[in-house]
Amino acid sequence: MKAFARLLDQLAFTPSRNAKLTLLRDYLGHAPDPERGWALASLTGALTFDAAKPAFIRKAAEARLDPLLFSLSYDFVGDLAETVALVWPARPGANREPELPEVVDALRTASRREVPQLLERWLDALDSNGRWALLKLLTGGLRVGVSARLAKQALAQMGDVPVADIEEVWHAQTPPYGDLFAWLEKRSARPGSDAPARFRPVMLAQAIDEATDFVRYAAADYAAEWKWDGIRVQAANEQGQRRLYSRTGEDIAAAFPDVLEALEFEGVIDGELLIFNDGHAAPFGDLQQRLNRKGADAKLMAKFPAGIRAYDLLMDGEEDLRALPFAQRRQRLEVFIARLTSSRIDLSPLQPFTSWEELARLRADPPEGDPRIAEGLMLKRWDSLYEAGRPKGPWFKWKRDPHLVDAVLMYAQRGHGKRSGFYSDYTFGVWREDANGDRSLTPVGKAYFGFTDEELKRLDKFVRDNTVDRFGPVRSVRADKDFGLVLEIAFEGLQRSSRHKSGVAMRFPRVHRIRWDKPAREADELPSLEKLLD
Amino acid sequence: MGPLMSSFRQLLRNTPEGLYCPPGDFYVDPVRPVDRAVITHGHSDHARGGHGSVLATPETLAIMAARYGQDFAGATEAAPYGKAIARGGVNVTMVPAGHVLGSAQAVLRWKDITIVVSGDYKRRRDPTCPLFEPVPCHVFVSEATFGLPVFRFPDAADEVAKLLKSVALFPERTHLVGAYALGKAQRIICLLRDAGYDKTLYMHGALASMNALYEQHGVALGPTAPATDAARNALPGEIVIAPPSAIADKWARRFADPIPAFASGWMTVRARARQRHVELPLVISDHADWDELTETITELKPEELWITHGSEDALLRWSELNGITAHALEIIGYEDEDE
Ligand SMILES: [Zn+2]
Ligand SMILES: [Zn+2]
């Protein structure tokens, strides 16, 4: 993100067209794929977001900084995104700085509800220039005077080719333009419809709106399959060229030599990268052990064998199937996969159903086996062509509802900024029975959002009124079988963890409801939580 | 107001001439000519000519002499860092402020009260002057030039790297860096040398005397040459340093397609840079940023904070939130030399 932010900053201050060209050419020549492609797309307006509204950004900042200090700052600076970028307090130990492709990828797939959390985490990890670039990107405010024409000229200079050559192929190129850069850097031939094993832009699904979409669309028009909890990949083997792309066109083959070796076919498949144990999908945590690596040794590959669960076929030999309806592609895919001998590539099965009601029941209570750890369901129209982007209607994702658990508040810690006077970070636990049959609470997670300002005040008062011990910024709150506050916690998944005393770790926990009414002894027990392990 | 407050005012109070110390009968950084002055540093808004007598560090006296002539005051007394000097019943000690060459905090001790008038200061390392030394005190008198949470300055070395990267990218153009003649210009030169830039640096004529003075005080600047006698389209690929007012001036047109750069804390805010037609803003300041201000106050925990000039509102609010008694003195006549 640093180099991209720097480029934006410089372009914004540079009036001269020639100097802009120099800056662009320099950036495009140095930044890696697919970052530079996404950067180019966002500069030329080929990729836009309006993921965050100004009111939300301001609210997030005021949660970190006294609102009066914030408005004094805003008055002085005059631009909201810039003010927030400048005043956002550094959070020591924040996450790794996000790279542009990660941000693009997350924004393309995140729901509206997820964006705020993502944004806060990114702001914590970036420096002020990076925050500025991110906020400009999110609010669609990247106005730095780069036209498509200027971009093409920079590309032409970069590859030392005539601009006309770029223009001839430009219309067929899509972000992040991997083929184009490979050609300009003399690593491959000029891209055309025939460049083998090139990245084909991916078709994405919309989140279904349960209130309106089921009325609008007929169940018989759709196929359903499970939404696997891995990462989306495109695996290609064409004319001896093997590639494994992430959804954003990043070539991740280096980390998955085992998968690459299994691509014993001629064509391009679309599927989910998973870790397989005896043909069964392993939880996402296992796959994480293999992601973001430069390679993989034999031991790692033996412990976490990777493979692909295929759900679409884009190229069958030399035949492009993308213009065929899904029903036909699916038939071709089944035949294609059946021919393969490797156990590393299998078929994502269709889930038969006759009505939306029946499908809803299946989603709530998936059948034994892999569907139990699926993220939900995918719905694909039988007649849908394979279109790049996220068209509304042909494909839907229908995620599983979050898990809920009733836990007891155990510890509270002071927050930051506007919340610095409040105990706003909550550690909660569930009951566990020891060998003697005594029940005690064991912490299972920590949440710091999901409540309103009013609720925060009540929670804070509860913490202060019921403190039994304090160490540093942390207060221990009374929590026993006779007394305690029950929090209904929502979370996306549960994994084994040796770092936690309880042996489990939650994904995305947040306070769903505060159960002022519920006796602490009626909160959930660890074994019932363990049943939810991915 | 309690008795303690009034005893602080007995030692130092705000008057139209500036901060006045009745028991020592002197002013600190007065904004008008007075009989006796203690001067924290050589910037013109703090160090004016025409006082009866001036007490300051030897470096500051030398700077004043270079700016206003040898007879800039009726009498002078040099107060090296750390040496206590009696003025009436008051002990005056000059302690490094880390702002520019010779810059000092004036530490006033009287009876059992200590007041520190910090002048302008920063907490970062600066190759041209010693580091700011925190002195425990009852009253800390602080500037607030950059007293808003938006001002969090990056590492100066990163900003200089930005400049050098641009020089490499545009070898056919002159980089024209606006920097205040006293302090900022010499600091930029030293930062460039630290970054390994050993080519000749070209100087606007207005910088010559301060550069020479810094070198006399042991700050090595490396090879420099005057930029003023250059021909048209001169000095492609070179760095020219000039006072901020010169970079948008007719003077600048002689250089090869110059890229105007400006080294100042104000460059934090994009609109400020655009107003001045700066194409390469360099966020380098000799003042404390928001974090340095608040961390210094937190570290010193004075009973009272007095704010001389700058953005008082935010610092007053911060003090209120942090339980620190603070007053704005609203001294008229101090301006920021970066502007
Ligand atoms: Zn000054
Ligand atoms: Zn000043």
A7 touches chain B (CB under 8 A): no
Note whether A255 and A291 are within 8 A (CB).
Answer: yes
Closest ligand to C-alpha of residue B310 is: 2
B268 with A86: Cβ contact below 8 A: yes
B161 touches chain A (CB under 8 A): no
A72 with B281: Cβ contact below 8 A: no
A68 touches chain B (CB under 8 A): yes
Instruction: Tell me the DSSP string of B140-197.
Output: EEEEETT-STT--PPPHHHHHHHHHHHHHH-TTS-EEEE--TTTHHHHHHHHHHHTT-
Residue B3 pLDDT level (bands cut at 50, 70, 90): very low
In the reported structure, the alpha carbon of residue B15 is separated from the centroid of ligand 1 by a whole-number distance in angstroms of 20
Could you list the beta-strand ranges (E) of chain B: 13-15, 18-21, 26-28, 36-38, 51-56, 73-78, 85-87, 90-96, 104-110, 113-117, 139-144, 175-178, 201-203, 224-226, 239-242, 259-263, 280-282, 304-310, 325-328
Task: Tell me which residue in B170, B280, B317 faces A69 most closely, judged by beta carbons.
Answer: B317
* A328-to-A61, A201, A319, A532 alpha-carbon distances in Å: 51, 20, 13, 37
| Sequential pLDDT tens for chain A (534 residues) | 999 999 999 999 998 999 999 999 999 999 999 999 999 998 887 887 777 788 888 888 988 899 999 999 998 998 999 999 999 987 766 678 899 998 998 888 777 778 888 888 899 999 999 999 999 888 877 777 788 789 989 999 999 998 877 876 776 788 899 989 999 998 888 887 567 887 787 888 988 888 888 889 999 999 999 999 899 999 999 999 999 988 766 788 999 999 999 999 999 999 999 999 988 998 887 888 898 788 899 999 999 999 999 999 999 999 999 999 999 999 999 999 999 999 999 999 999 999 999 999 999 888 988 998 888 999 999 999 998 777 888 999 998 888 889 999 999 988 766 666 789 889 999 999 888 888 999 999 888 887 888 889 999 999 999 999 888 778 999 999 889 999 999 887 788 877 777 888 887 788 888 888 888 998 999 888 888 776
* A534-to-A284, A374, A504 alpha-carbon distances in Å: 8, 9, 10
A266 touches chain B (CB under 8 A): no
Looking at residue A94, its pLDDT comes to 64
Instruction: Tell me the DSSP string of A412-442.
Output: EEE-SGGGGGSEEEEEEEEEEE-TTS-EEEE
Task: Tell me which residue in A15, A73, A127 faces B148 most closely, judged by beta carbons.
Answer: A73
Domains of chain A: 206-399 (3.30.470.30), 403-533 (2.40.50.140)
Give per-residue pLDDT as tens, B163-208.
999 999 999 999 999 999 999 999 999 999 999 999 999 999 999 9
Dihedral sign computed on CA atoms, order B333, B334, B338, B339? negative
Please state, in angstroms and rounded to a whole number, the distance separating the CA atoms of residues A259 and A334.
19
The DSSP call for residue B64 is H
Nearest C-alpha neighbor of A448 from the set A421, A463, A426: A426
Please state, in angstroms and rounded to a whole number, the distance separating the CA atoms of residues A39 and A103.
11
A92 touches chain B (CB under 8 A): no
Please state, in angstroms and rounded to a whole number, the distance separating the CA atoms of residues A242 and A240.
6
Q: Is the pLDDT score of B339 beyond 80?
A: no
Please state, in angstroms and rounded to a whole number, the distance separating the CA atoms of residues A110 and A212.
20
Please state, in angstroms and rounded to a whole number, the distance separating the CA atoms of residues B261 and B275.
13
B150 with A15: Cβ contact below 8 A: no
Q: Residue A408, SS3?
A: strand
The phi, psi pair for B297, rounded to 5°, reads: -65, -40
Cβ contacts (< 8 Å) between B281 and chain A: which residues?
13
Which residue of A7, A75, A86 to mutate against B (max B Cβ within 10 Å)? Answer: A86
Closest ligand to C-alpha of residue B331 is: 2
In the reported structure, the alpha carbon of residue B176 is separated from the centroid of ligand 2 by a whole-number distance in angstroms of 25
Please state, in angstroms and rounded to a whole number, the distance separating the CA atoms of residues A370 and A355.
22
Looking at residue A258, its pLDDT comes to 95
B150 with A69: Cβ contact below 8 A: no
Please state, in angstroms and rounded to a whole number, the distance separating the CA atoms of residues B100 and B216.
15
Nearest C-alpha neighbor of A431 from the set A501, A335, A524: A524
Q: Which ipTM score applies to this complex? A: 0.94
Non-local (6+) Cβ contacts of A290 within 8 A are A255, A256, A275, A296, A300, A304, A306
Instruction: Tell me the DSSP string of B302-313.
Output: -SEEEEEEE-HH
B150 with A83: Cβ contact below 8 A: yes
Please state, in angstroms and rounded to a whole number, the distance separating the CA atoms of residues B263 and A528.
62
* A469-to-A456, A459, A502 alpha-carbon distances in Å: 20, 17, 22
Please state, in angstroms and rounded to a whole number, the distance separating the CA atoms of residues A239 and B312.
70
Closest ligand to C-alpha of residue B97 is: 1
Q: Retrieve residue A383's tokens.
A: 């007649």
Which residue of B145, B148, B165, B173 to mutate against A (max A Cβ within 10 Å)? Answer: B148
SS (H, E, C) B79-102: CCCCCCEEECCEEEEEEECCCCCC
Strand partners, A408: A429, A486
> What does the pLDDT average to over B46-59?
96
Non-local (6+) Cβ contacts of A50 within 8 A are A138, A139, A140
Gap from A74 CA to chain B (nearest CA, Å): 9
Q: Is the peptide bond before A443 cis (omega within 30 degrees of 0)?
A: no
Looking at residue A467, its pLDDT comes to 93
* Nearest residue of chain B to residue A26 (CA atoms): B169
Gap from A77 CA to chain B (nearest CA, Å): 6
A128 with B152: Cβ contact below 8 A: yes
Residue B336 pLDDT level (bands cut at 50, 70, 90): low
Nearest C-alpha neighbor of A233 from the set A205, A252, A208: A252
B317 touches chain A (CB under 8 A): yes
Provide the 10 A C-beta neighbour count for residue B198. 10
Would you say the pTM of this structure is higher than 0.90? no
> What does the pLDDT average to over B316-328?
94
Which residue of B159, B166, B270, B282 to mutate against A (max A Cβ within 10 Å)? Answer: B270
Q: Which of B73-82, B126-135, B221-230 has the lowest mean pLDDT?
A: B221-230
Dihedral sign computed on CA atoms, order A225, A230, A232, A236? negative
Dihedral sign computed on CA atoms, order A114, A119, A120, A124? positive
B321 touches chain A (CB under 8 A): yes
Gap from A80 CA to chain B (nearest CA, Å): 12
Using the CB atoms, write b or e for A151-178: b if 16+ within 10 Å: bbbbbbbbbeeeeebbeebeeebbbbbb
Q: CA angle, corner A181, sides to A178 and A184, nearest 5?
A: 150
Task: Tell me which residue in B170, B279, B318 faces A13 most closely, judged by beta carbons.
Answer: B279
Cβ contacts (< 8 Å) between A15 and chain B: which residues?
279
Note whether A515 and A408 are within 8 A (CB).
Answer: no
Gap from B23 CA to chain A (nearest CA, Å): 38
* Nearest residue of chain A to residue B278 (CA atoms): A13
Note whether A347 and A337 are within 8 A (CB).
Answer: yes
Non-local (6+) Cβ contacts of A55 within 8 A are none
B76 touches chain A (CB under 8 A): no
Give me the residue label for tokens 């029903």.
A327
Strand partners, B96: B104
Please state, in angstroms and rounded to a whole number, the distance separating the CA atoms of residues A222 and B188.
67
Please state, in angstroms and rounded to a whole number, the distance separating the CA atoms of residues B18 and B38.
11
Gap from A515 CA to chain B (nearest CA, Å): 33
Which residue of A14, A73, A75 to mutate against B (max B Cβ within 10 Å)? Answer: A73
Tell me whether strands B113-117 and B201-203 are parallel, antiparallel or unpaired.
unpaired
Please state, in angstroms and rounded to a whole number, the distance separating the CA atoms of residues A223 and A231.
21
B268 with A78: Cβ contact below 8 A: no
Query: Which residues in chain B (295-314) have CB-CB distances under 8 A to chain A?
Result: 311, 313-314
Note whether B74 and B53 are within 8 A (CB).
Answer: yes
Looking at residue A293, its pLDDT comes to 82
Q: Retrieve residue B168's tokens.
A: 């490499």
Task: Tell me which residue in B154, B270, B317 faces A66 most closely, judged by beta carbons.
Answer: B317
Q: Which of A205-214, B41-50, B99-108 has the lowest mean pLDDT?
A: A205-214
Please state, in angstroms and rounded to a whole number, the distance separating the CA atoms of residues A154 and A151.
5
Task: Tell me which residue in A68, A77, A83 faces B317 most closely, judged by beta carbons.
Answer: A68
* Nearest residue of chain A to residue B266 (CA atoms): A77
The DSSP call for residue A522 is G
Query: Which residues in chain B (162-201) have CB-CB distances under 8 A to chain A?
Result: 162, 169-170
Q: Retrieve residue A143's tokens.
A: 């106005």
Cβ contacts (< 8 Å) between A65 and chain B: which residues?
149
Q: Retrieve residue A435's tokens.
A: 């060998």
B279 with A76: Cβ contact below 8 A: no
